[in-house]
Amino acid sequence: MSATNRRRGPGDVHAEAVLGIAVTVFVFGGLFTVWAAAAIGAEASGQPAPHGFAPIMCVRLAVGEYAWPGAAATVAVVLLIATYAAIAALVIYKVRRRPDVEVDRAAPYLAQRKDLRNFSTQVVRERARRFGLPNEAAPGVYVGRSVPHGHDIWGSWEDMHVDIWGPRTGKTSTRAIPNIVAAPGACVVTSNKRDIVDATRLSRERHGKVWVFDPQQQANEPATWWWDPLGYVDGSIVRAVKMAGRFTSVVRPEHARADAYFEPAAEELVANYLLAASVAGVPITEVYYWLTRPRDRTAMRILRRGGHDLSADAVEGVCSSPDRQRAGVFGTAQQMLSFLTAPSVTRWVTPGDGPVRPRFDVGEFIREGRDTLYLLSEETNKMAAPLVLALTAALAEGAENTATASPGGRLPTPMLFVLDEAANICPWKALPDKYSHFGSRGIVMMTILQSWAQGTAAWGEGGMAKLWGAANIRVYGGGVFDMKFLSDLSKTSGVFEPETLATSRKSTQLIGGTVNRASRSEPVLDEHDLAAMPRGRMFVQISGAKPVLARSVPWWEGPAAEEVRASLDRYEPSAAEIVPPTTVTATP
């Protein structure tokens, strides 16, 4: 049982406590009421004032030693009794009132207004000013409103976020869309659906240039531009190794390797081929062409001419290995780059033979600091996911390098990454290690997952725990039924000790008996409360503060509602006509 139990918990008191309050109010309030009425009547009729101590005056009045001072006192006592009765009714109502939303009964046991001062609008805005942001910019990344006080909760422009929301619980409408619209600088968004693009595109177009990477036609976006992954490699074996690892991590996460030899060897071969293609200035599709011809020595010759002798030796070693060994390495490498076989994908990473299209420049995107990039990929058919991950990582790394060279070691304007469906389409294996460091560079990330298990599938149990621990703001939005995760989350909600009563009497005893009072520790929110968290409520853990129960605020209740609707009208009219789902709004 938890603090949301109907029989006890926040907002409930025992019957004897209510009776005690009532008796106290009636006795002392009644004595004072009679005395005050007598004083008013005495003053109005010119009679002697009553004794200054109300109980003595009432005793003297009862035994006839003091005369009631006329009609004025009678009128006064009626008015005062009515007032006192109204106050008593209000007190009892407040004591006995239950919140309309059952989980809200836990709010008094969680963070209060003073605990959240460092995350209030005023304090976070002061931090934003110190970072050089103007007053009209959003003070930070919006979280929601505390229950029951209704004060806004913000993360600053150096706080990192991890969200876990079950399906259809409102993560896009309450966390992603409002913060994308309000982002003061460059913004990078990953998703497996077009709704984020449709809802925020108009706002972002007014802010800067919009790029939509859509190889699988999630948003029916034509390939009017292209990005060269080999531009990131830029003749560096270190970067080639990173790029190969990012491609591989989508096909098979590192913690789930199936083969101890072929997969590492294939990844090394892919890295060396990426380096060769970068040195030669050929499209990335040439790498897959080389992989289908194990006896082709073209890449090896390019590497030797470019001065990369060790990489050339590594390629020659694989090409000269026994047939079965060579076939296993090359076959595994082909699987890792199988996404390059889809023309719908490769047209986004090659210049093509048609009209000249602009090339996406990672450095220019970061320096401009106002543009938006949407990266879309299907959740199940992950042909585009390796490129989504590679481009996301290239942008984050480029932003980190730019921040390091900037005054104060931060980006002049914060850069927001909203990594929706990150575990499926952007499982960057280095993300947990880099997470907290990004915040100090003005690179703010919000990683949104559907469950803890989804995170462990991408980063392993240790990596997911590291990612969760590196976040300053951790949001659970309901809809999850992983009882181990919910049990661990419940332990962070704190404990309270409800009073319990036990009455015992002998079988021959008609009245009386023994009443024992005790208490026991219980979680403020247990796993059943968290599993049943209603839409519109969030359990938020904040570094340096108690956890808080918050109300999520969807975009249609925010300041950008008209702009989002206008964006939907323009880019997806059918979505704009859908009535937003009802959210829980009641508070105690």
pLDDT per residue over 528-549, tens digit each? 999 999 999 999 999 989 999 9
The pLDDT of residue 23 is 63
Give the burial class of 21: count Cβ atoms within 10 A of its Cβ; 0-12 exposed, 13-18 middle, 19 or more buried.
middle
The pLDDT of residue 354 is 81
Q: Position 463: which residue type?
A: G
Angle, CA of 368, 369 and 372, to the nearest 5°:
100
What's the CA gap between 218 and 24, in Å, rounded?
Answer: 68
pLDDT per residue over 157-180, tens digit each? 999 999 999 999 999 999 999 999
Angle, CA of 427, 387 and 449, to the nearest 5°:
30
C-alpha distances out from residue 312 to 282, 301, 317, 518, Å: 17, 7, 9, 77
C-alpha distances out from residue 474 to 9, 252, 309, 446, 532, Å: 25, 27, 47, 10, 18
pLDDT per residue over 212-264, tens digit each? 999 999 999 999 999 999 999 999 999 999 999 999 888 765 455 556 789 99
8 Å CB contact between 54 and 34: yes
Report the sign of the C-alpha dihedral through residues 278, 404, 447, 183, in that order: negative
The pLDDT of residue 67 is 72
Residue 448 — φ and ψ, nearest 5°? -115, 125
What's the CA gap between 385 and 298, in Å, rounded?
Answer: 29
Within 13 Å, how many C-alpha atoms sit on residue 443's CB side? 25
The pLDDT of residue 62 is 75
Instruction: Give the DSSP letter string of 463-488.
Output: HHHHHHHH-SEEEE-S----HHHHHH
Nearest in space to 538 (alpha carbons), one of 491, 493, 475: 475
Query: Two tokens at 187?
Result: 């913004």
The pLDDT of residue 312 is 96
- Point out the residues of the chain with pLDDT beneath 50: 1, 6-16, 254, 579, 582-583, 585-588
